[in-house]
Structure 1
Amino acid sequence: MFQRRTSKSTGPSASAEETQKKDTAMINLTRHEKEKYIPSDEPSSASAAGDQKDKPALETKKERAHSGHGKTAQAHDLKASLTSHDSHKNCEVKLSASSSSSAKESSVDNEEDMYRDAEEIEREKVLPVCETGSSENKLSVAPEMDIIEYCQKEWRGNTPAAKRMKKGYEAVSQKFTSIRRVRGDNYCALRATLFQALSQTSELPDWLQSEDLTLLPEKLLSKYDWIQQWQLRQKLGRKMGELSDEIKDYLILLRKKWESMSEMKSPVARQAACDELFSNEEEEYSLYEAVKFLMLNTAIELYDDDKKGKKVPVFSWLLFARDTSSSPSQLMNNHLNQIGHTGGLEQVEMFLLAYALHYTIRVYRLYKYSTDEFITLYPNDPEEDWPVVTLITEDDRHYNIPVRMCEETSL
C-alpha cells in the first residue's frame, strides 16, 4: 500500500558518503528545528496572558517586534550561538525535551489569541455556548481577505520585523491576491494542508483507494501494542478493539470526503463543500485523527526501512535523532499525541505530513524573506507526480492559506 521508492546502499564508499550526508543534513535541519523552538515571545504567566488578550492583536505584534525579541532577531541570535564551540558540539540533532515542552506550553494558551483580533475574542466571550451547537460558532477557515489589506492590518509599525513581513506579503501577493486565516488551535498545519488539498483535488489518490487502508489500524495495533496509547481528541483510555474501529471509521470518512470532493468538477462547488466540511467540528477533527494515524504509519515504515539499510528521505534521520522521538513509539507519545492538545506540528513533522499524504507542501515563510528559505518545500526533493498545496506562515508555528492564484497545481 504505502510504498516508496527505496534502494539498498552499495559498498563501503557509498556508506561513508551516506554517513557524511546524514551528518550535514541533520545539522542543517536541526538549525531549522531549533529556530522553531526559539523561546516564545508570548507572555508566560497567566496574568501576562490576560494582559495580552486585552490588547488588539495588531498592537501586540507591533510591540513584540519593537521590543527586540521578534522572530527575526531570535533566529539571528540562534545562528550566531551555533558558531560557538559548545553550541556546535551540542548541535548534533538532539533537541532537549525541556526546550520542546517549554515552547509547547507557552504556545498552548496564547497561540490562538495571537491570530485573532480583540473584537473577535470579545465576540466569542459573549456568544451563547451550548454543548451540542457550539461548533457552529467557530470558523475553522475564515473568509478570504485581500492579502495586502490583511498585512496592513496586522503589521502597522515600521520596525525591522514589520518591514520584513510587509515585503514578504508583497512578494506573496505577486502570486496570490487573497488570504484565508486559519484557526490557531494547534491543528492549524493539518487544517491548512488538508483544506487546500481537498479544495483543489481532481481525483482520489491511489493510496486512498487501496483496500489495505481500512485494515491499517487493526494491522498496526496487532503488531505494536504501544499504539494502544494513541490519544484521540478528548477521548482517553480506549480499549484496543474500540480504538481500531474508531480509527478505521476516521479513515473511511477521509476517503469518503476526498472522493466526494474529487467528483466535483466546479472549483466553486468544491470550495463551498470544503467550507461546509470545515465548519462541522465532529467531522473536521475526525479527519485530523485519520491524517495523524497515516503520519504514524509513514513514520513506522521509514524507521523500519532505515533499520533494514534501505534509502530513506533525509528528514527521517532527524525525525528519529531527536531525544524525544528516537523510535516510532516515542514519536507517537511525545509528538503525534500532542498535536491539537499541547502543541502543533514541528518543522520536521511537516515533511512527515507531506509523505503521509503524498503531497508537496510549499510554504512562504515570511520571516525568512530575502533568504533562500523564503519559499520552502516539504519535501525539498518532491516526487514529480505529487500535487502541490501552498501555505503561508509568519513564524513556522501558525499557518494560513493564500488563495486566488494563477493555475498552478504541480511542480
Structure 2
Amino acid sequence: MCFFSGRETLHIVFILQSHDNLQGWMTEPSSLSAGAEDKKESVPTQLMKRKNEVGVASEELGSANAAADHKEKTTSEIRQDCVYRSRGRPEETDTIKSLGMDQDASMNCEPYGPVSGNCAAMESSEESEEDMYRDEEEIEREKILLCETNSSEYKLSVSPEMDIMEYCRKEWRGNTPAAKRMRKGYEAVAQKFASIRRIRGDNYCAFRATLFQALSQATQLPRWLQSEDFTMLPENLLSKYDWIKQWQLRQKPGKRMGEISDEIKEYLILLRKKWKNISEIKSPLEKQEACDKLFKNEEEEYCLYEALKFLMLNTAIELYNADKSGRRVPVFSWLLFARDTSSNPCQLMQNHLNHIGHSGGLEQVEMFLFAYALQYTIQVYRLYKFSTDEFITLYPNDPQEEWPMVTLITEDDRHYNIPVRMCQETML
C-alpha cells in the first residue's frame, strides 16, 4: 500500500490537469475544422461555368475565373488558423470568442464579446515561434492584454477606425501560410485605403457594412427610393402572393406578415427618411457623425435591415417572374433558384431570408441579389483569395455605369469589415 502526503497528492493532480489541458490545446485546431464544410467552388466560379454552358454573351463574371486556384485554403482552414493569430500560439476558445472570431461554419459571423474584468495595459513580446505550453500566469497576462482596447468598442455596430496595417499586425501574427496570405491581402488593400472599421458580427454584418458605406457616401436619394409605390410593396405583394404571410420579423418571430405588413411599411418609410436626411448633409464630417449616430441606435438599425430583406424578396420575385416569361435575367439568378432550398421565391423566403440575422447571414450568391436590390455595386476584397482572380470580386459583375460603388473586406466570405479613407477614387 502506498501513501502520499497532501503536497504530493496536489502535485499529482496538477500534473494530470496539465496533461488534460495540453491535450485540449493540441486537439483544438482539429476540432475547429472537424465540423467545417468541405471545400466548394466559389459562386463566381460556378457562375462562369453556368455562363459557358448556356452561351450567355454578357460578362457576368469578369472578375471571377473558372480556373481559380484549387489549392487555396478553405474557410474552415482559415478559421482553424485563427487559433494561431495572437503571438503565433494556439488560443483558448473563450479567448478567441472574446475577440469576435468566427469559428462556427454554420454562422455568418459571431458577435463581438466584451472582455470582462478590470483592464490594465501591458507590453507584450512579439515572439514568432509557436509554443504549445503556456502556464496559467501567461494565459492571464494575455487576457489582460486584450483590454488595451476599450471593451465598449466591441458593443458598437461600427467600431472607430484604425490603421489598416496595424489592425492586420494585431490579427495575423502567425507564420502559417494563411496568415502570410492575409497579410499580403491587407497590404494590397492598404494601397487603396488607409484605415479599417470593424463591423459587429451578428449575422447582419453584410447588411450593416454595405448600408453604412452607402449612407456615408450618399449625396442623393436613389431613384428606387423615390418611387411612389415604394412604401406600398408589402400591400402589393400580399395581394398577389399569399405565402408572403409566412414572413418572419426578427423582433416578432411568432407573428405573420398579414399582421405586420403595416410595420414593414413603416420600416421602408424609415429607410427612405434616413437615406434622404443623410444624403442632404453637405459636410463630410457631419455626414459621418450622422451615420455613426444611426448605427448606435439598435432599434432603428434592425428595422432598416428588415426593410432591406424585404427589398431582396421583391427583387427575387421580379427576377423569377422575368425568367419564367422568357426575358433575360442575370446569370446569378439561375444559381439562386437552382438550389434545392430556394427553387422559387417562396422557398428563398422560408429557408434563407427569414433566417438572416437569426441563424445565418448572406450567402455569396445572395450578395448578388442584395446588390441588385440596392442597385449598388458591392466591391469586396476577399483576402483569403489573394493572388487569384477572385481577390477583388464585384457584386454584380456587370454593374450599371450609374450605380454607385461601396467597398467591403472579408477574410472568409462570412464576416465583412469596411475600409475607409480612400487613397484614391474607387468609383467606377
Shorter-chain TM-score above 0.5? yes
The structure-2 alpha-carbon separation of the partners of 1:58 and 1:204, relative to structure 1 and needing over 3 Å to count, comes to closer
Structure 1 residue matching 2:421: 3-state secondary structure: strand
Identity of aligned residues (%): 70
Distance 2:259 2:312 in 1: 20
The structure-2 alpha-carbon separation of the partners of 1:224 and 1:103, relative to structure 1 and needing over 3 Å to count, comes to farther
2:93 to 17, 29, 52: 52
Distance 2:168 2:362 in 1: 24
Q: Which has the higher contact order (CA 8 A, sep 6+)?
A: 1
1:328 to 340, 345, 352: 345
- The match for 1:121 is 115
Shift of 1:136: 11
Structure 1 residue matching 2:110: 3-state secondary structure: helix
2:293 to 269, 276, 286: 276
Letter in structure 1 aligned against 2:54: T
Shift of 1:40: 7.8
1:393 to 410, 422, 426: 410
- The match for 1:132 is none
Shift of 1:168: 0.4
Distance 2:244 2:299 in 1: 23
2:425 to 385, 408, 411: 408
Distance 1:29 1:288 in 2: 32
Structure 2 residue matching 1:122: 3-state secondary structure: coil
Q: Map 1:214-363 onto structure 2 (within 5 A).
A: 214-363=231-380
Distance 2:263 2:99 in 1: 42
Q: Which has the higher helix share?
A: 1
Instruction: Say whether residues 1:149 and 2:143 are aligned partners.
Output: no
The structure-2 alpha-carbon separation of the partners of 1:38 and 1:30, relative to structure 1 and needing over 3 Å to count, comes to farther
> For the Cα contact (< 8 Å) 1:138–1:279, is it kept in 2?
no
Q: Map 1:27-106 onto structure 2 (within 5 A).
A: 51-55=92-96, 103-104=105-106
The structure-2 alpha-carbon separation of the partners of 1:244 and 1:30, relative to structure 1 and needing over 3 Å to count, comes to farther
Letter in structure 2 aligned against 1:338: H
Deviations 1:292-332 (A, max 9, x none): 00000000000000000000001000000000100000000
Shift of 1:17: 8.2
Shift of 1:51: 4.8
Instruction: Say whether residues 1:205 and 2:222 are aligned partners.
Output: yes
Distance 1:385 1:25 in 2: 17
1:180 to 197, 209, 217: 197
TM-score normalised over the length of structure 1 = 0.73
Letter in structure 1 aligned against 2:95: D
Shift of 1:158: 1.0
Shift of 1:38: 5.6
Distance 1:151 1:137 in 2: 17
Structure 2 residue matching 1:232: 3-state secondary structure: coil
Letter in structure 1 aligned against 2:289: A
Structure 2 residue matching 1:140: 3-state secondary structure: coil
The structure-2 alpha-carbon separation of the partners of 1:314 and 1:246, relative to structure 1 and needing over 3 Å to count, comes to same
> For the Cα contact (< 8 Å) 1:30–1:318, is it kept in 2?
no
Deviations 1:139-169 (A, max 9, x none): 0000000000000000001111000000000
The structure-2 alpha-carbon separation of the partners of 1:40 and 1:162, relative to structure 1 and needing over 3 Å to count, comes to closer
Asked which structure has the greater CA Rg, the reply is 2
The structure-2 alpha-carbon separation of the partners of 1:274 and 1:58, relative to structure 1 and needing over 3 Å to count, comes to closer
1:19 to 46, 50, 54: 54
Distance 2:346 2:66 in 1: 21
- The match for 1:138 is 155
Distance 1:139 1:58 in 2: 13
